[in-house]
Amino acid sequence: MANLMGDKKASFLRLVEERALSKEEKKKLQDALVPYIPKDCISNVLLRLPLESLQRSRFVCKPWYTIINSLKFIDDHLERSESVLIFISSIKEENLYPFSTRPFAVEKPNTFSVEAKLLQSESVPVLVQPNINPTLKYYIKFLEINNGRSKIGEYSVSCTGHIRAACNGLILLENKLKKGGLIVVNPVTRKLISLPLGTLCPADKESYGFAFCTVTGEYKVVHLFQDELRYFGCEILNLGTRVWRAVNGPSFGLLRWLGCLPVLAIGALHWVPNIDSSDYLVSIEVDKERFHTIPLPKSSRYHDRIVEMRGFLSFVTHEEENQIGVWILKGLGELWTRQLSIKTGCILDMVPLYSLRIKGDMIFKRDEDGSFYAYDFQLQVMRKIEMEQERLKMSGMYHPHVNSLISWSSRERSQDVFY
């Protein structure tokens, strides 16, 4: 009996040794067939992949997963990503059943619902979750412009609220599940977080700015609002703490209109104070959280705008004889310098929307027909953009945006998950 047990034990040990040896042989064979590629080379290749391919590449192998989730890769990817315009499009308009006697729409399969994920994260039981009518929901999409052509990209993400602001790939959404509530979402990673209620006021009496503070490394939401006495108040929320703090607002009478989105550039958020004939900007420094005014080089007109241009603040103004002037402000406390004049292809109702952060082209949109134009500063040529669709089915406003893997917390950024 003892001899039998000894033979079984020896056989088991031989089997373990053979399996271990076979694993070593397989690894040696694999190393011989697949040459070693440095991590930096792999990272450089992954950085050049389209967004959809990059998402799938995370699950190819553990080393790739580690590379793509690293803080360095996320920052490098942000630096290489081109600007787009993010917007929402009504599900009702896109998916109406033609033979239905009443409006009826359904979401596309495998659509990620912001509200459903929010309720899940807050541990709301399924049986008591509100039933959201799909006809009241929107798809989040983006418009990409490249080489004179446009392309509409989809995240397969739906929501019920409008986009209020955007920064570094994060967007600020209205939370329709809670009056006056807000949600911060990265539509690429589908990571989201709800914000506590701040001061409640009508949508036309408030404006939101979204900014990254390079001094503290924090993302901040700036809420500017007008009270019943026409005074402007301001409160700021750090995404790290999620607590609203009241700060001194702009002096009485400086702001008269909140129709234009604020622009983040040179370390501050900037508002144009009036729809026409503005001689200055109202700005708040992201770090010091203080308001002040910045004189414009000339009085603005109805179709003039301020635009972030490769980190600087630009003032794009329509001038006489169908030409557009571009002024640049390189820092707070400095003077505006005239950069150039656009003398070809200019039309009076061209509204500057944003500047491509990599290529540098300025994108315009005509008020009359909604057509898009791109001005190439190197070739000094204005081109009409060939649209993928004749007219975009959009709701709300366009927001300059960049598709990224960024999160709002450096502690969490390496833990982003694609759903």
Contact in structure between 312 and 270 (CB atoms under 8 Å): no
Kindly state the percentage of the chain with pLDDT values over 70: 82
CA distance 94 to 276: 36
Write the pLDDT tens digit of every residue in 380-412: 999 999 987 655 566 668 899 999 999 887 544
Question: Is residue 418's pLDDT more than 50?
Answer: no
Binned at pLDDT 50, 70 and 90, residue 62 comes out as confident
With beta carbons less than 8 A apart as the criterion, state whether 234 and 291 touch: yes
The predicted-structure confidence for 242-287, as pLDDT tens digits, reads as follows 999 999 999 998 998 888 899 999 999 999 999 888 999 999 999 9
Identify the band that residue 56 occupies on the pLDDT scale cut at 50, 70 and 90.
confident
Q: What average pLDDT does the segment 176-205 reach? A: 92
What tens digit of pLDDT does each residue of 312-326 get? 999 999 987 788 999
Structural tokens at position 141? 């999409």
pLDDT of 72 over the 60 cut: yes
Which pLDDT score is estimated for 187?
95
Lowest mean per-residue pLDDT among 28-42, 81-95, 155-169, 343-357:
28-42
Kindly report, residue by residue over 115-163, the tens digit of the pLDDT. 989 888 777 676 566 767 767 889 999 999 988 899 999 999 999 999 9
What pLDDT is stored for residue 387 in this prediction? Answer: 85
- Banded pLDDT at 417 (limits 50, 70, 90): very low
- pLDDT exceeds 70 at position 205: yes
Summarize the confidence of residues 163-172 as an average pLDDT: 96
pLDDT of residue 15: 64
CA nearest 141: which of 175, 187, 174?
187
What's the token pair of residue 387? 């649209």
Give, as one character, the DSSP assignment of residue 56. Answer: H
d(CA 58, CA 36): 19
Higher pLDDT, 17 or 201: 201
Question: Confidence class of residue 99 from pLDDT cuts 50, 70 and 90?
Answer: very low
Instruction: Give the lowest-confidence range in 38-47, 81-90, 304-313, 356-365.
Output: 38-47
